[in-house]
Amino acid sequence: MTTPAQGASRVAPATFAGMALFSAEDVARTTSTTAAVDALEAALLGGLDPERDAPRSRVTTATGELLIMPSTLGDLSGVKLLSSTPGNTDLPLIQGAYVLFEGPGQRPAAIVDGIALTNLRTPAVSALAVRHLAPAPSGPERLTVFGTGAQARGHVLALLETRAVAEVTLVGRTPDALESLADEVRAAGVTVSTCRLDVAAAAVEQADLICCCTASPTPLFDGSLVKDGAVVVAMGSHFPDEREVDDALVRRASVVVESRASTLREAGDVVIPLASGALREDELVTLHDVVTGRARLDAPGPRLFKGTGMPWEDLVVASAIYRAATARGA
């Protein structure tokens, strides 16, 4: 499958005060999901420790919140600034930008569209987890995705690019949104079906890969239905009192997280089972340890990856975008 980064013409990004400006179109043209996955993996193998990453902070504004996500790695540093405005109707709920600095002098190097960056790095983190958690496919894989928004779309396309997916089931509450996304996915040449949330049991039972990309505050399906060996990615919940997966899944699964610290602050999919006794903190495994080979997942049952989004991931992918453009002479 040809990715936007492979198939589009090469046009240099605009500049401002010596900084390259990367629009959403520039991000799509410059960096594929596979390139982003490889960059994230290389950073972890190169010694990056997510446990040392700065926490995401929130500032209340008159109409919503500002989210501030700084990180540093070697001679690179950066910060993502997002606004969250629940009352928006004509504008997106989430808007923002990423500012990248480079070198010992911390020169401002680039500004990247914050939403395009998020829509690339989040599926890339999930695809990295799937790369290391899923067994080598013995044949075409079945993917079930809950949600119809930007992250659902991004996760479908990312796994079509990086896995041997032949069948996709989309699960959601809005028929028009489901069919719109289904039409886009069918264009990639795979079999696509849709179903409502209340009749999704079969889609869960048959799936090799499941992605939860919703704003649901409560579990989306019965975790006892997930087959052994399947990988579940839960990335929609970012609050300690909300979750997309239930205790039944957590009890059966090997649970892998971005970092223990960020998970215990923000991830209801883990925090709630810890409180109920369905999970012990010492059972948590970090993605860093899985990627570097420090941890092996030998237990039977499903594998659950819980992601909330971390600043280091934005820095690594923003750097990959910038360096790819620089290497092309943009």
- Please tell me the predicted confidence (pLDDT) of residue 294: 95
Is 161 in the same domain as 291?
yes
- Please tell me the predicted confidence (pLDDT) of residue 109: 95
- Please tell me the predicted confidence (pLDDT) of residue 137: 77
Report yes or no on 124 lying in a domain. Answer: no
- Which regions of the chain does DSSP assign to beta strands (E)? 14-16, 19-22, 57-60, 65-73, 76-84, 94-102, 107-113, 141-146, 165-172, 191-196, 209-212, 231-234, 254-257, 285-286, 303-306
Report yes or no on 70 lying in a domain. Answer: yes
- Please tell me the predicted confidence (pLDDT) of residue 11: 58
Strands of the sheet containing 19-22, edge to edge, are 14-16, 19-22, 107-113, 94-102, 76-84, 65-73, 57-60
Report yes or no on 269 lying in a domain. Answer: yes
- Please tell me the predicted confidence (pLDDT) of residue 280: 97
* Residues in CB range of 75: below 8 A, 6 or more apart: 102, 103, 104
Report yes or no on 27 lying in a domain. Answer: yes
Report yes or no on 127 lying in a domain. Answer: no
Is 80 in the same domain as 217?
no
Tokens of 240: 């300690």
Is 170 in the same domain as 187?
yes
Report yes or no on 51 lying in a domain. Answer: yes
**What CATH number did the domain enclosing 253 receive?**
3.40.50.720
Look at residue 3 and give its three-state secondary structure.
coil
pLDDT tens figures, 262-319 = 999 999 999 999 999 999 999 999 999 999 999 999 889 999 999 999 999 999 999 9
Is 76 in the same domain as 176?
no
Look at residue 140 and give its three-state secondary structure.
coil
pLDDT tens figures, 20-55 = 999 999 999 999 999 999 999 999 999 999 999 999
Domain enclosing residue 29, as ranges: 4-118+312-327
HSE (side-chain half, CA atoms, 13 Å) at 240: 9
Is 305 in the same domain as 318?
no
Spell out, as residue ranges, where the chain has pLDDT lower than 50. Answer: 1-4, 6-9
**What CATH number did the domain enclosing 82 receive?**
3.30.1780.10
Report yes or no on 126 lying in a domain. Answer: no
Report yes or no on 123 lying in a domain. Answer: no
Total number of domains constituting the chain: 2
- Please tell me the predicted confidence (pLDDT) of residue 219: 98
- Please tell me the predicted confidence (pLDDT) of residue 330: 55
- Please tell me the predicted confidence (pLDDT) of residue 104: 93
